[in-house]
Amino acid sequence: MDVSDTGRQHWWAVVLAGGDGSRLRSLTHFISGDRRPKQFCSIFGGRSLLAHTRERIAPVFEEDQTLVVLNQAHERYYRSELADVDESRKIVQPSNRGTAVAMAVCLQTIISRDEEALVVFFPSDHHYLSGPAFRSCIEDGLRAAAQYPNYILMLGAEARYPEVEYGWIEPGRSLDDSLVHRVQRVSRFWEKPDLDQASSLCNQGCLWNTFVTIGLASAFLEILQATLPELTKAVDGRRPLEQLYAGTPARDFAKEVLARVPNRLLVVRDADSGWTDFGSPRRVIDALTRYGDRPPWMSTSGYLHVNQ
């Protein structure tokens, strides 16, 4: 395959919506009155975070090449919201076994349909100030992934302050300045540093790890094989998901895969989208306040308790 000729017909999106959202449970329970995970909660804009994610990426990807990863335990929360999504595009997990397992299952599904697939994995609990800027970064990342077919590309957001709850990426040498969003090698990962270290990383121009990852499906599977060979052996496309998940331990893609192969990673610099990970009540409230978005739940007298 000449990957330089890989076009949009091979662009695939996977929305990761199978998590339990436990870190934001106090806020989502306050808003919704039930225990729904944050991706199914209407935190701002009158729509769920999952709906915002789908809307954000829809201009880039064909509908029939967009998969959604779900958890069977959350079916009552996504049943009506995803009524318009064909069952072939829903990857319903029997339980949550972490990001690496979910991604491996999706990759096997996609590559069985399109051996030349370029895949982007999107978390479903993020906030962006500018959807167009984000989409521009994704499109540049897909073009770069076609140019560097042996690598996995990560979107790294330019840091605005020394956040201690984010993962950080230390970028290395630039490979391509022809794109609007610079592509660089990855020198090192820093997972949730303390405040002094985060301040140093911020001053050095290190990037926040958004966990948006891009690459050929075959490259993802090759790196999974190198780091978690027992997982790729288990996820062979022939075993029922119930059997696979019953016998497979939880695996984390960032810690157990990406952190082990920095030499196979590149980072695409995202300077303009205004990314925020809605990982804590404090961060949600800070982001919405900063961008002047005040949903109804923030106007009630009791909401402040979730930030304590």
Q: What is the pLDDT of residues 17-45, one digit of tens each?
A: 999 988 899 999 999 999 999 999 999 99
What was the pLDDT predicted at 308? 46
Task: Provide mean pLDDT across the span 231-255.
Answer: 88
Indicate yes or no: pTM above 0.85. yes
Q: Is residue 141 part of a domain?
A: yes
Q: Is residue 206 part of a domain?
A: yes
Tokens of 160: 């605005």
* Local confidence band at 190 (pLDDT 50, 70, 90 cut-offs): confident
pLDDT > 90? residue 240: no
If one counts every other C-beta atom within 10 angstroms of the C-beta of residue 37, the result is 26
Which has the closest alpha carbon to 51: 86, 81, 14? 81
If one counts every other C-beta atom within 10 angstroms of the C-beta of residue 87, the result is 7
What was the pLDDT predicted at 5? 41
pLDDT > 60? residue 152: yes
Average pLDDT, the chain: 91
pLDDT in tens, 59-97: 999 999 999 999 999 999 999 999 999 999 999 999 999
Q: Is residue 178 part of a domain?
A: yes
What was the pLDDT predicted at 179? 59
Q: Is residue 3 part of a domain?
A: no
Q: Is residue 5 part of a domain?
A: no
Least confident of 47-51, 90-94, 190-194, 299-303: 299-303
Q: Are 19 and 69 in contact (CB under 8 A)?
A: no
pLDDT in tens, 275-307: 999 989 989 998 898 888 888 888 765 655 555
Q: Is residue 118 part of a domain?
A: yes
Give the CA distances from residue 302 to residues 106, 214, 298, in Å, rounded to whole numbers and listed in that order. 41, 41, 8
What was the pLDDT predicted at 180? 62
Phi, psi of 275 (to 5 degrees): -70, 140
* Local confidence band at 178 (pLDDT 50, 70, 90 cut-offs): low
Better pLDDT: 204 or 181: 204
Q: Is residue 1 part of a domain?
A: no
What was the pLDDT predicted at 291? 82
Which has the closest alpha carbon to 213: 278, 174, 251, 267? 267
Phi, psi of 211 (to 5 degrees): 70, 10
Give the CA distances from residue 256 to residues 90, 98, 211, 260, 262, in Å, rounded to whole numbers and listed in that order. 25, 11, 14, 7, 12
Q: Is residue 182 part of a domain?
A: yes
- Number of separate domains in the chain: 1
Residues contacting 87, CB < 8 A, separation 6+: none
- Domain of 23 in residue numbering reads as 10-302
pLDDT > 70? residue 124: yes
**CATH assignment of the domain containing 246:** 3.90.550.10
What was the pLDDT predicted at 303? 58
